[in-house]
Amino acid sequence: MLLLLLLLPMCWAVEVKRPRGVSLTNHHFYDESKPFTCLDGSASIPFDQVNDDYCDCKDGSDEPGTAACPNGSFHCTNTGYKPLYISSRWVNDGVCDCCDGTDEYNSGIVCENTCKEKGRKERETLQQMAEVTREGFRLKKILIEDWKKAREEKQKKLIELQAGKKSLEDQVEMLRTLKEEAEKPEKEAKDQHRKLWEEQQATSKEQRERELAASAFQELDDDMDGVVSVAELQTHPELDTDGDGALSEGEAQTLLGGDAQMDAAFFYDRVWAAIRDKYRSEVLPTEYPPSPPAPDVMEPKEEQPPMPSPPTEEEDEAEEDEETEEEEEEDEDSQGEQSKDTPPPGPAPQTASPTEEDRMPPYDEQTQAFISAAQEARNKFEEAERSLKDMEESIRNLEQEVSFDFGPNGEFAYLYSQCYELTTNEYIYRLCPFKLVSQKPKLGGSPTSLGTWGSWAGPDHDKFSAMKYEQGTGCWQGPNRSTTVRLLCGKETVVTSTTEPSRCEYLMELMTPAACPEPPPEYPVEGDHDEL
């Protein structure tokens, strides 16, 4: 088109005689030496009836220069600019539709011929577009060469990584074996350490229970005759078993295993377990000074810090019984039914607060050495495993990139690792070619996906003129958002516009040198001529 417009000045002097309103391409249908046949073949008329301001042909072809046929067409020659067809109804309607004014030949309106000026502006615009196309195509060839070199380098790197992967896989397996071998003595030593500590804990716990039982026996043995009798046991009503608030003789005897009394040798084994959760010592708690706090023992980093052992079933029951006893005591106080002769119950025996005995002691030097060796083996294995995963990720990315369809000659490859933004009054639109499109409120907020890469979406003859991004964030009671990106020729890469022609369907335009077609060859124009 540019070439034709540049050559227009050379063609202005050529004029072919033809009826008004007939184009040069159709002039051979209008031969004044013979009858005129309607272009649709519907009729033949004498030639002098052409442009006689009466419509004879159904298609209006006999009145190309008048307004007689409403379905006819008038051809504007527009010498110096672009030829144009207008509706015959516009002929002599008082409006200048043709830039050469030929449509108003008999309306009394004088139309200024603006075709040369329009042609000049059109040629300037086309020249600018041609310059953009030439420069863009020059850059496109550079992009193609850059991709060829980059693709060769990536393929070479891919081959190296694939070769190194086997060696790294072997190293990972070797380090896995070494790790497992180092963890075996570590586990055995740690298990043995814990086992010994748990045995010590069990022994220590039993010893504390025996001490509590001995203390309770001494308190219950009021006459200090070496045995606890039914009467002595009845002085502790908190040991009541039927809930009436008093320990009857029968209940006391049952606690003593059916005997009337029990000596210290059998008290721990036969009686203590049945009464320990309810028994309240008569000794004030202040007589038992608290144990000094012990510093926490730091475990090795790979170990979980020691947690206090969970309360036993008996301890849970003891706490519940304590709450129940307290509630009963409050009720008794309010009703004034508590016996004045009965001494106030003392606190129930409690297990000692966690001390150094309740914490697992540090590992010995040999166990710590096993732990250090195993941890070192783990670190080496994990580092090698991370390296292998990173290498596999690099291989996947390279395989995808070198096999991706970046256009006929890879001209669009440079867009692969780039993102471009367009800011409007409300949103910031972001396009990452071959990956995703998103929008984010300009004043802040989370981005909304307008689609991820789908495919090339241009027409069959120009497949690489558009991109399709699909499966974006769903619209409220609507489809998932999607975006079509039209690729336009330009010297720079920039998003020029974003619109929403249909609900949840966006249209974005991206200017890029990669979309520039090869320009036609430039022909020199030597001066202005009046003939071909």
| β-sheet bridge partners, residue 499 | 507
Radius of gyration over every alpha carbon of the chain, rounded to an integer in angstroms: 51
Burial class (CB in 10 A: 0-12, 13-18, 19+), 459: exposed
**Confidence at residue 520, expressed as pLDDT on a 0 to 100 scale:** 80
**Confidence at residue 518, expressed as pLDDT on a 0 to 100 scale:** 87
Candidate CATH numbers 1.10.287.610, 2.70.130.10, 3.40.50.150, 1.20.1730.10; the one for domain 413-515: 2.70.130.10
**Confidence at residue 207, expressed as pLDDT on a 0 to 100 scale:** 87
**Confidence at residue 302, expressed as pLDDT on a 0 to 100 scale:** 44
**Confidence at residue 400, expressed as pLDDT on a 0 to 100 scale:** 86
Q: What is the pLDDT along the chain (532 residues), one digit of tens a residue?
A: 444 444 444 444 355 678 999 998 898 899 989 999 999 998 999 999 999 999 999 999 999 999 999 999 999 999 989 999 999 999 999 999 999 999 999 888 899 999 999 999 988 888 888 888 989 999 999 999 999 999 999 999 999 898 899 899 999 999 999 999 999 999 999 999 999 989 888 888 888 888 888 888 888 878 888 888 878 778 888 887 878 878 888 887 787 877 888 888 778 878 888 888 888 876 544 333 343 343 344 444 444 444 444 444 444 444 444 444 444 444 444 444 444 444 444 444 454 455 666 788 899 999 999 999 999 999 999 999 999 999 999 999 888 888 889 999 999 999 998 999 999 999 999 999 999 999 999 888 899 999 999 999 999 999 999 999 999 999 988 899 999 999 999 999 999 999 999 999 999 999 999 999 988 876 555 444 433 3
Q: Please, are residues 362 and 297 in contact by the beta-carbon 8 Å criterion?
A: yes
Cβ count near 244 (within 10 Å): 10
Which residues in the chain are classed under CATH 2.70.130.10? Answer: 413-515
Instruction: Report the C-alpha gap between 130 and 224 in whole angstroms.
Output: 120
**Confidence at residue 524, expressed as pLDDT on a 0 to 100 scale:** 57
Instruction: Report the C-alpha gap between 241 and 255 in whole angstroms.
Output: 9
Cβ count near 167 (within 10 Å): 9
The DSSP H or E segment spanning 475 is none
Report which of 467, 474, 471, 481 is spatially closest to residue 510, judged by C-alpha positions.
467
**Confidence at residue 318, expressed as pLDDT on a 0 to 100 scale:** 44
Instruction: Report the C-alpha gap between 527 and 32 in whole angstroms.
Output: 38
**Confidence at residue 508, expressed as pLDDT on a 0 to 100 scale:** 96
Report which of 105, 107, 65 is spatially closest to residue 86, judged by C-alpha positions.
65
Residue with tokens 């070439």: 3
Report which of 436, 427, 440, 407 is spatially closest to residue 497, judged by C-alpha positions.
427
Secondary structure of residue 170 in the 3-state scheme: helix
**Confidence at residue 357, expressed as pLDDT on a 0 to 100 scale:** 61
**Confidence at residue 338, expressed as pLDDT on a 0 to 100 scale:** 43
Q: Report DSSP letters for 351-366, one per residue.
A: PPPP-GGGSPPPPPHH
